[in-house]
């Protein structure tokens, strides 16, 4: 898709994983045909930016050679599968993912909206509840609970039936008119339509929100990336160490490792202030942005009171983040500040520059030192 700095090309790694060869090839493609700075998205995709249209065919050819493209673009558009990155060879993630991929590639697959997605969250505890998805698959004992995003009930089936039931729900979504002008989300549809009876039998159990952080895990070392940006040189170096799993939390898992080298762009310490900051591309990279974002985010990060997070957005669309405790939105005339709200909310202060934001944070710290 076009953007302020050329085409953005979004890559969907199979099973959310890059082999060393794929990671190395992707880094080389970014260096030759795009900006040498890749981006991770909240759906665990990898984006290349700044692609000149003349370079697009060579880039696609390279991605195809790395096994990172589906045979047809419409299948790729439907393959919106988000995997919990800590999956193992012994849980059901890989077979369920492959069965869903197969079903979405079938000639009779429903035409789904561009953002319609599936969360395959089959670890011991769900970790993707706050990540965007329309149909969720979670472990329930030795079975899989399949449910619609926003619903309090679903259907519990053996793993080898899970993809089939998820597709049943996707077809129901389309049949009920969930797709409007190529858009539409499951949670909105549920406000107007009751679920099919089969999906009302098993309650969805409450779960604690997953606290995404960095550090060693049983799957491998999780390293964060400032604003989700991954320098191509760093990707090259990582490709020599381990396969990579892409998370939806702007981090990667270095499969099988328990430490990570100090490389540009990597965050390895849990107390790094950059983990509390999110910012979209902003100006000049995004043509809709009303101001820059990332330089301001770097300035604000060290000023944040303990426990607070900030999201700097180039416009009210708020692409980068929804859950920060402080949101700053470029307006063309300074920044709107929203305390405990999203980029769409009414601002608590307007027209601020960096000094005004710092003063606001100091006041907040003085009046609510416990926050």
Interacting residues with ligand SF4 (CB under 6 A): 280-282, 286, 288-289, 313-315, 317-319
- In the block, tokens 């429903």 appear at 110
Of 3 and 130, nearer to ligand SF4 (C-beta) is 3
**Chain position whose Cβ is nearest to ligand SF4:** 314
| Nearer to ligand SF4 (CB atom), residue 319 or residue 357 | 319
Strand, helix or coil for residue 129: coil
**Cis geometry, peptide bond prior to residue 284 (ω within 30 degrees of 0):** yes
| Nearer of residues 112 and 315 to ligand SF4, judged by Cβ | 315
User: What tokens were used for 139?
Assistant: 């472990």
User: Toward ligand SF4, which CB reaches closer, 22 or 313?
Assistant: 313
Instruction: Compute the least distance from the CB of residue 329 to ligand SF4, in Å.
Output: 8
Q: Give me the long-range contacts of 131-135 (CB less than 8 A, separation at least 24).
A: 131/42, 131/43, 131/82, 131/248, 132/42, 132/43, 132/82, 133/82, 134/170, 134/173, 134/185, 134/186, 134/187, 135/166, 135/169, 135/170, 135/186
From CA 303, how far away is CA 338, in angstroms rounded?
A: 16
Assign 337 to helix, strand or coil. Answer: strand
CB of 300 to ligand SF4, least distance (A): 16
Name the minimum Å distance from CB 19 to ligand SF4.
30
Cβ at position 190, least distance to ligand SF4 in Å: 26
How far apart are CB 44 and ligand SF4 at their closest, in Å?
Answer: 18
Nearer to ligand SF4, 5 or 272 (CB): 5
The residue among 9, 97, 71, 96 whose CA lies nearest residue 45 is 9
The nearest distance, CB 35 to ligand SF4, in angstroms, is: 15
Q: Give the residue among 33, 41, 55 at the shortest CA–CA distance from 12.
A: 41
């Amino acid at each position: 898709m076009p953007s302020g700095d050329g085409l953005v090309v979004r890559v969907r790694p199979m099973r959310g994983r890059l082999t060393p060869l794929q990671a190395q090839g992707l880094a080389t493609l970014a260096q030759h045909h795009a900006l040498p700075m890749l981006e991770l998205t909240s759906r665990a995709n990898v984006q290349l930016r700044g692609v000149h249209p003349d370079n697009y065919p060579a880039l696609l050819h390279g991605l195809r050679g790395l096994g990172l493209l589906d045979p047809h673009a419409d299948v790729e558009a439907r393959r919106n599968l988000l995997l919990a990155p800590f999956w193992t060879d012994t849980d059901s993630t890989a077979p369920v993912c492959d069965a869903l991929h197969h079903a979405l590639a079938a000639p009779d697959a429903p035409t789904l909206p561009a953002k319609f997605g599936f969360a395959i969250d089959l670890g011991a505890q769900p970790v993707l509840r706050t990540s965007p998805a329309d149909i969720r698959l979670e472990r329930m004992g030795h079975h899989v609970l399949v449910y619609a995003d926003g619903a309090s009930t679903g259907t519990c089936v053996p793993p080898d039936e899970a993809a089939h039931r998820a597709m049943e729900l996707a077809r129901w979504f389309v049949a009920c008119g969930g797709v409007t002008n190529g858009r539409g989300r499951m949670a909105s549809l549920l406000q107007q339509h009751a679920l099919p009876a089969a999906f009302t039998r098993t309650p969805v159990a409450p779960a604690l929100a997953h606290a995404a952080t960095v550090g060693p895990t049983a799957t491998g070392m999780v390293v964060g990336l400032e604003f989700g940006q991954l320098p191509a040189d760093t990707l090259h170096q990582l490709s020599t160490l381990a396969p990579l799993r892409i998370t939806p939390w702007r981090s990667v898992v270095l499969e099988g490792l328990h430490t990570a080298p100090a490389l540009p762009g990597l965050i390895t310490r849990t107390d790094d202030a950059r983990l509390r900051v999110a910012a979209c591309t902003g100006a000049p990279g995004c043509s809709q942005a009303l101001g820059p974002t990332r330089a301001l985010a770097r300035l604000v990060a060290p000023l944040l009171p303990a426990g607070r997070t900030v999201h700097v957005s180039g416009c009210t669309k708020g692409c980068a983040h929804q859950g920060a405790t402080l949101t700053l939105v470029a307006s063309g005339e300074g920044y709107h500040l929203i305390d405990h709200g999203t980029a769409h909310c009414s601002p608590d202060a307007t027209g601020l520059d960096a000094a005004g934001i710092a003063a606001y944070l100091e006041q907040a710290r003085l009046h609510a030192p416990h926050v």
